[in-house]
């Protein structure tokens, strides 16, 4: 699992406790850094280069807005995504000011844990995509050695466009899945207050929602995926012709270096179910570990 550093800049001990509690509960593997004002936040960011910054607005010494402006003016920190945390509700001009300064998103106090984690997950996913793109670029650079400059530029442009399409489709599927799961959880919360006949109807509704596949999104995802990873499905079918649709999608997600937790979120399956499916796929190939199976997928 990739380790992510998140810098929290806030001078309120109570808010720090709430925010860190939400993050630790969601993912105890996050490495959390703390600063209590904007100036200290800049110093911590320069020293540690966090993957994401959560920046409070009102703080002593230096407020969050000024801190964001400085961070975005420095080469070392200008690419770090920053989410502005604010108690400002409905003041459009102030929020626009934060976005203009360089904040990529904002979250209002008091925290809604679902909204907070959803926004953080979106940023973490984009960071992960960037890391994967960087790794893929190294492979592309090797392929470009035999091309002239015009051909290289065309290849870079095509691959960049295709990667952006694939990223957006993956994010869309994740966001739709998260929204649907939230709706399912709310429906299930009604069960204890419902008569037997109503429980039966609710259970049927939940089952239908769980079966919702967003076919058009999957079709677009697979089309974008094939553009980035040419002939992957064709080569996979040649090696493993009896795979189900779900197994093929699992192979595609693994090819994108997605972890078990991320795949579970997209497919409405438990992490344990994903691990079992991966084990079955490894057996079909005759491999004993995830590393060997990932190498197999990368070479398709």
Both tokens of 197, joined, read 């006949």
Q: What is the pLDDT of residue 120?
A: 86
Residue 132 lies in a domain: no
The answer to whether residues 95 and 178 belong to one domain is no
Residue 24 lies in a domain: yes
Identify the CA nearest to 252 among candidates 212, 218, 217. Answer: 218
Q: What is the pLDDT of residue 137?
A: 62
More confident residue, 288 or 210: 288
Q: What is the pLDDT of residue 1?
A: 44
Q: Is the CB of residue 38 less than 8 Å from the CB of residue 67?
A: yes
Residue 143 lies in a domain: no
Distance CA 281, CA 248 (A): 10
pLDDT bracket for residue 6 (50, 70, 90)? very high
The answer to whether residues 85 and 165 belong to one domain is no
Residue 149 lies in a domain: no
Containing structural domain, residue 24: 5-120
Mean pLDDT, residues 26-33 = 89
- pLDDT tens string 124-178: 877 776 676 666 666 666 665 666 666 666 656 666 665 666 655 565 665 666 6
- Is residue 120 classed exposed, middle or buried when 0-12, 13-18 and 19+ CB atoms within 10 A define those classes? buried
Residue partners of 48: CB distance under 8 A and separation at least 6: 5, 7, 33
Helix axes 260-267, 245-255, angle to 10 degrees: 140
Q: What is the pLDDT of residue 66?
A: 94
Q: What is the pLDDT of residue 155?
A: 59
pLDDT greater than 70 at residue 78: yes
Identify the CA nearest to 215 among candidates 245, 183, 252, 253. Answer: 245
The answer to whether residues 116 and 22 belong to one domain is yes
pLDDT greater than 80 at residue 227: no
Residue 136 lies in a domain: no
- pLDDT tens string 83-95: 988 875 555 667 7
The answer to whether residues 115 and 165 belong to one domain is no
Residue 131 lies in a domain: no
Residue 270 lies in a domain: yes
- pLDDT tens string 99-108: 888 888 888 8
Number of domains in the chain: 2
- Is residue 3 classed exposed, middle or buried when 0-12, 13-18 and 19+ CB atoms within 10 A define those classes? exposed
pLDDT greater than 70 at residue 10: yes
- pLDDT tens string 246-297: 899 899 888 877 788 778 877 777 888 888 999 999 989 888 887 788 888 8
Global model pTM greater than 0.85: no
Location of structure tokens 């920046």: 55
Averaged confidence pLDDT in the chain: 80
The dihedral built from the CA positions of residue 60, 66, 68 and 71, taken in this order, carries a sign that is: negative
The answer to whether residues 246 and 194 belong to one domain is yes
Residue 116 lies in a domain: yes
pLDDT bracket for residue 68 (50, 70, 90)? very high
The answer to whether residues 279 and 165 belong to one domain is yes
Tell me the percentage of the chain whose pLDDT exceeds 70. Answer: 74
pLDDT greater than 90 at residue 62: yes
More confident residue, 117 or 39: 39
Mean pLDDT, residues 215-243 = 78
Q: What is the pLDDT of residue 172?
A: 61
């Amino acid at each position: 699992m990739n380790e992510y550093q998140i810098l929290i800049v806030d001078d309120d001990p109570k808010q720090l406790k709430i925010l860190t509690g939400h993050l630790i509960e969601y993912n105890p593997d996050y490495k959390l850094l703390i600063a209590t004002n904007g100036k200290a936040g800049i110093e911590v960011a320069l020293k540690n280069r966090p993957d994401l910054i959560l920046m409070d607005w009102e703080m002593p010494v230096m407020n969050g807005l000024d801190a964001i402006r400085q961070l975005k003016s420095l080469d070392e920190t200008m690419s770090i995504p920053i989410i502005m945390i604010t108690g400002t509700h409905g003041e459009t001009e102030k929020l626009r000011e934060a976005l203009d300064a360089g904040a990529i998103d904002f979250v209002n106090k008091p925290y809604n844990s679902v909204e907070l984690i959803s926004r953080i997950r979106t940023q973490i996913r984009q960071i992960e995509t960037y890391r994967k793109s960087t790794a893929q670029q190294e492979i592309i650079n090797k392929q470009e050695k035999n091309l002239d400059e015009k051909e290289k530029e065309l290849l870079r442009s095509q691959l960049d466009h295709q990667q952006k399409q694939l990223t957006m489709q993956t994010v869309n599927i994740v966001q739709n899945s998260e929204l649907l799961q939230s709706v399912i959880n709310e429906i299930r919360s009604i069960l204890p207050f419902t008569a037997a006949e109503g429980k039966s109807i609710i259970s049927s509704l939940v089952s239908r929602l769980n079966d919702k596949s967003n076919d058009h999104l999957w079709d677009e995802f697979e089309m974008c995926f094939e553009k980035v990873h040419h002939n992957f499905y064709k080569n996979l079918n040649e090696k493993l012709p009896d795979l189900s649709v779900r197994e093929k999608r699992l192979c595609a997600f693994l090819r994108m270096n997605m972890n078990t937790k991320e795949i579970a979120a997209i497919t409405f399956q438990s992490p344990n179910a994903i691990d079992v499916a991966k084990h079955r796929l490894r057996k079909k190939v005759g491999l004993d570990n995830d590393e060997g199976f990932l190498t197999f997928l990368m070479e398709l």
